[in-house]
Structure 1
Amino acid sequence: MIRTVAYPRTGLVGNPSDLFHGRTISLLLDAFQAEVTITESERIEIERTNHDGRAFAGLDELVHFRREFGYYGGIRIIEATIVRLHRHCQRLNIQLDGKRSFHLAYSSNIPFRVGLAGSSAIARATLVCLMKFYDLADTDIPLPIQANIILEAETLELGIVAGPQDRVVSIYGGLVYMDFTRDAFERNYNLYGDYKRLDPANLPRLYVAYDERLSESSGRVHGNIQRRPEDQKKAILRVMAQKAELVEEARVVIERADKDAIGPLMTRDFELRRSVYDLAPMNLEMVETARHNGSHAKQCGSGGAIVGTFTDDEHLLRVTQAFQLIGCQVVEVRVATYA
C-alpha cells in the first residue's frame, strides 16, 4: 500500500492576488489533513467517502446533505488529477504502465468549503500517491509542474475559477512566498512563477478560527468577480496590485524575523480585500471578534475561516472563548512541512 497526506492552506498575505498576476505568502496548517492510499488491483477503482454521498435514508437526508456539502465531493478532483497527470506524461513521453490498475481510497478531516483549500489537498495527496505508484520522482515532474497539474485539474478539467496559490503551497509545504507576476513567469519560460520557502520560525504565534456553517465554493466567489462591470474590475486590479506590493513588505519582515510587524500587514491586507469584495456578515463578525480581543486577523481564503495573531496562551484562551460564543472553532497554527 502507498499512503500520502496533504494539509490545508492558510493565506497569510496577498490572496487572492494570484488570480491577477500578483504575489502571496501562504502556509500549510497541520491541524487537519487529507489522506490518499493506493493498492494495486485488477481494475481502477476510486472508493467513495461520506462526503460523496453514497446512499440516503430519504429525501430530507439527501437535501440536508447537499445543502451542507454541496455537489463537490472528492471523486471529481481525484479523477481530474489522474486525467491531467496522464495527459502531462503523454505530452512529455513519460511512460506510465497502462496495464497496472489500482484501488484508490481517500479521506479528509479538513473543514469543508471554508477557504482552507481542502480540494487542493486531496489533489496533492492523489498526485503524489500516483507518482509513487508509477515510480516517478520529483526529477521526472518538478515541484512547480506538479502544482500546474493540480491547477489544470481544477481549471481545465472542472471549469473552476482558481489561481495557482493553493496548488503551489500544497505541493511545496511549509511557509511559501509566491510571485506570480508576468516578470516572474517570463523568468521561468512562462510555465510558472518564482516560489521560495520561508522560515516559519520567524512568524508570530497564529491561530485559525473557522465556521463550517459558512460553507461556500471559492470558485463561485472568484467567478462572481469576473462578472463585475469594467469599472469595478479596474478597481479590483488596483487593489490586487497593492496587495502584491504588501507581500513584498511581508517577505522582508519575515526574513528578518520582525514578528511584531506581520500582524499589522495582515490587517492592511484584509482592509484591501474588504474594499472590493462583498463579504458575508459572519466573515466580518469573525474578523471583528478577533480585533476586539487584541488580534490582527484576515480571511484564510474565500470565507468561513480567518487567521489571527496572539501573544501567549492566556491570549489564545481568551480569543478561543470569544469565538466559541459566536459558534466558531479555533486551532493553533503549527506549520506543516513534507519530509
Structure 2
Amino acid sequence: MIVATAPGRCGVLGNPTDMYGGSVISCSLSERATCTLTDSDSLILEADNGESQVIHALADLEPSAEFPRLDLAKAVLKGMGIVPGTVGFHLTTSTEIPMQAGLAGSTALMAAVYGAVSKKIGRVEHKHAIAAAIRKIEYEILGVICGFQDQHMAVFGGLNYMDFRDKGSHIAMDAQPYATVEPLIELVPQPLPFVLAHTGVKHHSGAAHKPVRQRWLDNDPEVRELYDNVVPRLARNGKKAILEGDWETIAALMNQNQEVQFRLGASGAAVDKLVEVALANGAIGAKLAGAGQGGTVLCLTFEPERTIAALKEAGAGRIIRPVPSQGLTVTQE
C-alpha cells in the first residue's frame, strides 16, 4: 500500500501576486489531503464521498458529471501520461481541508495523487519539478487560472517566503525559472498568532481571479502598479518583520494587502464582513487567505478566544488554527 499526503495552505502576505511574478509569504496547515494506492488488476478511482469508477480507456479520464469528485485524480493521471489497461491499482482520495475555501484543498489533493502514483510507477523528481508538474496539470488540463503558491506549498510545506520572479501564465513553461522557496519555520516561534475563519461561501479560485487578471493583461495602470510593485513589497517587508517577531508590522501589512483586494473588487462581501468583525474583536490584522469572493479569512490576533467567538457569531463556518506542517509525504508499506 502506498499513502501520500499533502497540506493545505493560507496566504499570509503578497497574494495573489504569485500569478504575476510577485512574492508571497505562505503557511501550510496541519489539515491534509490523502491518496492511498492498493494493488488491483484494474484501474479504480474512489473518493471519500463514495464515488467510484473503473477506468477502462482514456475517455474515462475526462471530467464526468456523474463522478465530479474524481475529476482531480483523473486530471493528474492524464497529465502523468497514465494509459488505462497498462497499469492497475485502486486509488482512493480523502481530505481534511475544506474544499473551495481558498485553502488550496484541490491542489493538495492533486499533489497527494501525483506523489502516490509517482511512487507506484517509479518516477523520481525533485520538489521544484513536482510543483511545476502539478501546476501544469491544474492550468493546462483543468483550465484553472492559478498562480504558483498553492503547488509549491503543497509540495514544500512549512512557512515560506517565496519569490516567483519571471514566472506567469503569460510566459512559456520551459522559459520560466524555478521559484525561490525560503523556509522561515525554524526561525519563527510557535504557535503562530493566526486564526482562519471560513466564510461558508464556496468559490472556484479561477473564477475569482479572472476579472482582475484580465485587467492586468490589458495593462490597466492601477492593477499593474498594485500587483507588480505594491503587493509584492508587502511580502518582502513581511519577511523581515516575521523574522524579527514584529507582529504589529505583519498585521499592518496584512491590512494593506486586504485594502488592495477590496479596492480592486477582488475581496467579496462575505470576506469584508468577517474582516470587519475580526478587527473589531481583538484581531490587529485580517485579510483573505486565498483568491477572494468567498473562501477564508486569515486573522492575526493575540485574543483568539474573543476573535473566534465574534467570528462564529457573525456566521463564520469552520475555524482553523494554522499549524505549519511538512509538505508532500509518500510512504509505502
Query: Shorter-chain TM-score: what band?
Result: 0.7 to 0.9
- Structure 1 partner of 2:311: 323
Partner SS, residue 237 of structure 1: helix
Shift of 1:146: 0.4
1:107 aligned residue (70, 90, 94): 94
Q: 1:132 to 1:183 in 2, by over 3 A?
A: closer
- Structure 2 partner of 1:149: 133
Q: Percent identity?
A: 26
> Quick one: distance in 2 between partners of 1:262 and 1:279?
19
> Quick one: distance in 1 between partners of 2:67 and 2:258?
28
> Quick one: distance in 2 between partners of 1:86 and 1:219?
24
Q: 1:71 to 1:294 in 2, by over 3 A?
A: farther
Q: 1:191 to 1:40 in 2, by over 3 A?
A: farther
2:235 aligned residue (244, 247, 251): 247
**Alpha-carbon contact 1:77-1:123 (below 8 Å) kept:** yes
> Quick one: distance in 1 between partners of 2:216 and 2:223?
11
Could you tell me which runs of 5 or more consecutive residues in structure 1 were left unpaired when the two chains were aligned. Answer: 55-69, 88-95
2:80 aligned residue (75, 78, 85): 85
TM-score by length of 2: 0.83
RMSD: 2.9
> Quick one: distance in 2 between partners of 1:45 and 1:53?
7
Confirm or deny that 1:190 pairs with 2:179.
no
Could you tell me which runs of 5 or more consecutive residues in structure 2 were left unpaired when the two chains were aligned. Answer: 54-64
**Alpha-carbon contact 1:41-1:102 (below 8 Å) kept:** yes
Which one has a larger percent helix, Structure 1 or Structure 2?
A: 1
Shift of 1:211: 2.5
Alignment of 1:250-261 (within 5 A): 250-261=238-249
Deviations 1:269-290 (A, max 9, x none): 1112222134321110010011
**Alpha-carbon contact 2:166-2:177 (below 8 Å) kept:** no
Shift of 1:230: 7.1
1:308 aligned residue (287, 299, 313): 299
> Quick one: distance in 1 between partners of 2:118 and 2:38?
13
Q: 1:231 to 1:122 in 2, by over 3 A?
A: closer
Confirm or deny that 1:124 pairs with 2:115.
no
- Structure 2 partner of 1:15: 15
**Alpha-carbon contact 2:13-2:26 (below 8 Å) kept:** yes
Confirm or deny that 1:36 pairs with 2:35.
yes
Alignment of 1:225-240 (within 5 A): 225-228=212-215, 233-240=220-227
**Alpha-carbon contact 1:9-1:27 (below 8 Å) kept:** yes
TM-score by length of 1: 0.82
Q: 1:231 to 1:183 in 2, by over 3 A?
A: closer
Q: 1:72 to 1:286 in 2, by over 3 A?
A: farther
Q: How many pairs are equivalent?
A: 307
2:286 aligned residue (273, 283, 297): 297
Q: 1:198 to 1:79 in 2, by over 3 A?
A: same
- Structure 1 partner of 2:46: 47
Shift of 1:255: 2.8
Deviations 1:3-59 (A, max 9, x none): 1112211000001101111111111111x22111001211211113428699xxxxx
Shift of 1:227: 3.8
Deviations 1:232-266 (A, max 9, x none): 73321211121111111011222333333222111
> Quick one: distance in 1 between partners of 2:216 and 2:233?
25
Shift of 1:159: 1.0
> Quick one: distance in 2 between partners of 1:28 and 1:183?
22
> Quick one: distance in 2 between partners of 1:281 and 1:53?
37
Deviates more, 1:263-272 or 1:77-86: 77-86
Which one has a larger percent strand, Structure 1 or Structure 2?
A: 2
> Quick one: distance in 2 between partners of 1:200 and 1:263?
21
**Alpha-carbon contact 1:202-1:258 (below 8 Å) kept:** no
> Quick one: distance in 2 between partners of 1:217 and 1:71?
19
Shift of 1:148: 0.9
Matched to 2:220, the amino acid is K
Q: 1:260 to 1:332 in 2, by over 3 A?
A: same
